[in-house]
Amino acid sequence: MLANVKSSRWPQIVAWPVASLFVLGFFFSSVGAWTGPILGVWFVGTQKPRRGFLWMMAFAFVPSLIFEWRKFPLTGPQQALEYLGWALVAAVLSVLPFTFHRLVSPRLSGLLSTLPLPLAGVAIPSLALALHIGTTSMVGLPTFLVFWFAATLVWMWNRESRATILVFAAGFVLAAGVELSRSFSVAVLRPTQLFGTIFGSISLGGALLLSVWALLIPTKKKTWANRPQTVALLQSPFTANPLHLVSEEGTETLISSSGERFPVRDGIPAFLKPEDLTGDNGKYNRLYETIGGFYDDIQRVVGAFRGVDLDSYFENYMSLLDVKAGDSVLETCVGTCLNFKYLPHGTKLSGLDLSPEMLANGQNNLRRWQMEADLYLGNAESLPFADASFDVVYSCGGFNFFSDRAKALREMIRVVKPGGHMMIEDETEEYVKSTYEKGPITSGFYSNRKQAVTVPIDLVPPEMEDIHVEMLKDGKFYAITFRKPALV
């Protein structure tokens, strides 16, 4: 029975003023002083540390040159180089606290994980000041509080806490109060040089302590050695030879009888070879590697603007799958594991995807939701599982743009047990045209396609049973469900 996708007015009402505030932050420094750190800590959290650092450097360095070009000394090449050098140092100093937070925070838990940014935000400029590297006015308690506010807000947003918006509103009312009192010349707390130095030293000590603590906390590494039943289902996607696990010097590798080696990286066995990233698979993989870190956030923000209740949106198509607690389920383009939340408790979850970035964020999600799943890096067109391994197999949101859809469907049918249920869900051409072809990042990928999206019902072999096609959300999505015959 299909649930209706509910609409959600409140997020829509809230989304506009919040977005306006962030836009204002780009033009008014008093707003930007609050919105900038929020955007910064969110952004570096969505990126690998090095990539995040380089992007943040570009954001900090290039606009500062553009907006301050009048100050650029035209007296000679040496002065010009000196000016550029100092602008670069200023950019590094402003970006380092965010990178420190990106490195340390994921290793800490709870509210403690919000502290690296404010501590580093005070400690790094204080240290620079003490070493006479540049000058800075942003040292002290106000910096600490603004950065802590930013880190806490993003922490709450990542935990999908509904109170995020209340904290956001309270923070901004407070900020507006401080700004107003400033403009009415009411004395506000200003850190004295002495207080700044003491506070800077305390922050530096705190940041160092947190780093040491973060390094000492043992990371729980997922091992495949304690899952022999799962390993027994694995086979080489290229030769179909069964695999066995070898652990050498702390690293695990799956090896086939013909000697193929598939490394396990960060708990995820990798089954890709370069050919898997050609054609449409390669093209769209570049998109997912770019947006993987904020894929979930895009869904939440777009959902809020459109007034879509995301839970009922996912439940809408996941309710079409016939899954019982205890079933083993495979999603063949699992992305960030969003659909897993809508399967019954006690389901044995497996997910495969072509994008390491999407899978890494899927792992973060599972950790946050305290869920367990086996994840694999691989191509849906050549699955690394033995025949008849799963009770249910489905593919949501990726099927349309697989390089070889027919092969991917044959693979789904191969690995599902006789009598097992299957589903293919994806967008229709109408949705791709009206949304992806117009999106700022997506348009470059989805415009000028060789062919339009069609509902792939013609690919489902006629011997499949209970074949149903549902058009969802006013024809924007389709879902095909069917069952592998019990006796084949």
Alpha carbon distance 99, 54 (integer Å): 10
Counting contacts by CB under 6 A, is residue 317 touching ligand SAM? no
Q: How far is the CB of 296 from ligand SAM (least distance, A)?
A: 8
Residues facing residue 270 across a β-bridge: 377
**Candidate ranges 86-94, 210-218, 394-402, 459-467; the one touching ligand SAM (CB under 6 A):** 394-402
Alpha carbon distance 272, 282 (integer Å): 12
DSSP string, 291-311: HGGGHHHHHHHHHHHHTB-HH
Instruction: Choose which of 397, 410, 439, 460 interacts with ligand SAM (CB under 6 A).
Output: 397
CA atoms within 13 A on the CB side of 364: 24
Residue 119 tokens, joined: 């501590």
**Candidate ranges 68-76, 224-232, 375-383, 414-422; the one touching ligand SAM (CB under 6 A):** 375-383
Instruction: Choose which of 327, 381, 391, 411 interacts with ligand SAM (CB under 6 A).
Output: 381
Instruction: State the binding string over 351-370 for ligand SAM (x if CB under 6 A, else -).
Output: -xxxx--x------------
Q: How far is the CB of 159 from ligand SAM (least distance, A)?
A: 19
Q: What is the total count of residues that contact ligand SAM (CB under 6 A)?
A: 20
Q: How far is the CB of 353 from ligand SAM (least distance, A)?
A: 4
Q: How far is the CB of 443 from ligand SAM (least distance, A)?
A: 16
Alpha carbon distance 118, 203 (integer Å): 8
Counting contacts by CB under 6 A, is residue 343 touching ligand SAM? no
Residue 142 tokens, joined: 């106000």
Counting contacts by CB under 6 A, is residue 304 touching ligand SAM? no
Counting contacts by CB under 6 A, is residue 379 touching ligand SAM? yes
Counting contacts by CB under 6 A, is residue 284 touching ligand SAM? yes
Is 83 or 238 the residue whose CB approaches ligand SAM more closely? 238
Counting contacts by CB under 6 A, is residue 402 touching ligand SAM? yes
CA atoms within 13 A on the CB side of 464: 24
Is 114 or 379 the residue whose CB approaches ligand SAM more closely? 379
Tokens 């003023």, residue located:
17
Backbone angles phi, psi at 239, to 5 degrees: -115, -5
In sequence order, the 6+-apart residues with CB closer than 8 A to the CB of 105 are: 45, 113, 114, 116, 117, 151
Q: How far is the CB of 477 from ligand SAM (least distance, A)?
A: 11
**Candidate ranges 46-54, 119-127, 396-404, 442-450; the one touching ligand SAM (CB under 6 A):** 396-404
Backbone angles phi, psi at 285, to 5 degrees: -65, -35
Is 8 or 281 the residue whose CB approaches ligand SAM more closely? 281
Position 6: which residue type?
Answer: K
Instruction: State the binding string over 321-340 for ligand SAM (x if CB under 6 A, else -).
Output: ------------xxx--xx-
Counting contacts by CB under 6 A, is residue 427 touching ligand SAM? no
Counting contacts by CB under 6 A, is residue 394 touching ligand SAM? no
Residue 80 tokens, joined: 């010009």
Residues facing residue 422 across a β-bridge: 393, 482
**Candidate ranges 86-94, 166-174, 228-236, 391-399; the one touching ligand SAM (CB under 6 A):** 391-399
**Candidate ranges 226-234, 349-357, 366-374, 438-446; the one touching ligand SAM (CB under 6 A):** 349-357
Alpha carbon distance 316, 147 (integer Å): 39
**Can you point out the beta strands (E) in 322-413?**
328-331, 348-353, 374-377, 390-396
Angle between helices 164-183 and 29-45 (to 10 degrees): 150
Q: Which of left, alpha, beta for 53 (phi over 0: left; psi -120 to 50: alpha)?
A: alpha
Binding site for ligand SAM (CB under 6 A): 281, 284, 288, 333-335, 338-339, 352-355, 358, 379-381, 396-398, 402
